[in-house]
Amino acid sequence: MSTAEYDLAILATNVNRNEGYAVAACGALLTYDILTSLDKEVEYIWTTPWSFGAVLYLLNRYLPYIDTFMAVSLFSTTNSPEACQIGNTVLTWFVIMGSIISEVVLMVRTYAIWGRKRSILFGLIGLWVATMVPVMVITDLEVSSWKYGPSPFPNQSGCFPVHVSKIVFITYIMLIVCETCIVILTMVKAAQHLRQTRSAWIIKMYQDGLLFYFYTLMTSIINIIIPLTAPPGYENLFGIPQRILHSLFCARVLLLLFEQRYGHTETTVSALITSFHPPDESSPPAIRLLRLDKN
């Protein structure tokens, strides 16, 4: 083994180790967040009537465990180049689909707080097509570019990429565009609602939405910078961490809405509820989920 090949082998080993640490840390964070909110989840999700919103919550909440398990398996076992190609491709598509589910959660919430206006619905659908379709196309191009080699050391765990495209950074630009549009719509409506009510839970909903945006904005910027500046192999170092953060924040968004819907026996009076126009049974199930008054 030449000096250059040895250096590349050491780099690949470090990549596997560092990505393994990042995934393990995020898995621990996910478990901690679930445990700290489990009482509310049981009360407002598991023991209430099933709905589209409940299914959306559970998919958003627990699919990251599949991502984490797959990633840990790839980093901790000895794999052939073919197994690495297949495993990382499947893992990447799970991460992308999970991220899209999280974006749908934010769009449904935005549609609801805007009183289910058709113009907002069509705008959000257009935003989804303009950002998420390119994300899927770029992801397909990215995974098609991957090439893996055999382990340079006997019984060395993990995968050893020999070629990885840097095009992945464009997907995070698309996420920033999508979430920036959503947060602008949210803040415009927040300015209207907060002039009419100082309800603590409404303030919390908008505060959480703004914090979610800034946290994911920071991770997206990191995921743009890393592929362009980091050594080969580190392109997706923060891909799974961002996916898990998306899941955590979106789960909190939905749980807050479920808590407000089922956590009170009296009708909640607020400008926000008025703007929702309490829906009848012909309303889309995603919006029936968000009905905040109780009859």
Q: Contact, 78 vs 155, CB < 8 A? A: yes
Q: Residue 131: what pLDDT?
A: 96
Burial classification of residue 36, based on how many CB atoms lie within 10 Å of its CB (0-12 exposed, 13-18 middle, 19 or more buried): exposed
Identity of the residue numbered 155: N
Non-local CB neighbours of 256 within 8 Å, separated by 6+ positions: 201, 204, 205, 208
For the chain, give every domain's residue range.
3-289
Report which of 89, 26, 82 is spatially closest to residue 238, judged by C-alpha positions: 26
Give me the CATH code for the 3-289 domain, please. Answer: 1.20.1070
Give the pLDDT confidence score for residue 62 in this predicted structure.
Answer: 94
What residue spans of the chain are helical by DSSP H? 3-36, 38-41, 52-76, 81-113, 118-145, 169-193, 200-229, 239-262, 271-276, 285-289
Q: Of the candidates 109, 166, 139, 151, which has an alpha carbon nearest to the alpha carbon of residue 286?
A: 109
Q: Is 158 left (phi over 0), alpha (psi -120 to 50) or beta?
A: left
Q: What pLDDT score was predicted for residue 174?
A: 95
- pLDDT (tens digit per residue) in 166-215: 888 999 999 999 999 999 999 999 888 888 877 787 888 888 888 888 88
**pLDDT score of 286:** 36
Q: Which residue has the tokens 């959503």?
A: 182
pLDDT at 107 over 80: yes
DSSP 180-219: HHHHHHHHHHHHHHTTT---HHHHHHHHHHHHHHHHHHHH
In the predicted model, what is the mean pLDDT of residues 226-233? 76
Phi-psi region at 234: left, alpha or beta (left = phi > 0; alpha = psi -120 to 50) = alpha
pTM: 0.79
Please list, in sequence order, all residues whose beta carbon lies within 8 angstroms of the beta carbon of residue 294, skipping any fewer than 6 positions away. Answer: 261, 262, 264, 265, 266, 267
pLDDT digits (tens, 9 = 90+) for 16-47: 677 778 888 888 999 999 999 999 999 999 99
Q: How far is CA 24 from the centre of its chain?
A: 17
**What is the rounded distance in angstroms from the CA atom of residue 19 to the CA atom of residue 167?**
19
Residue type, 13: T
Residues sharing a CB contact under 8 Å with residue 142, sequence separation 6 or more, in sequence order: 92, 165, 167, 168, 171
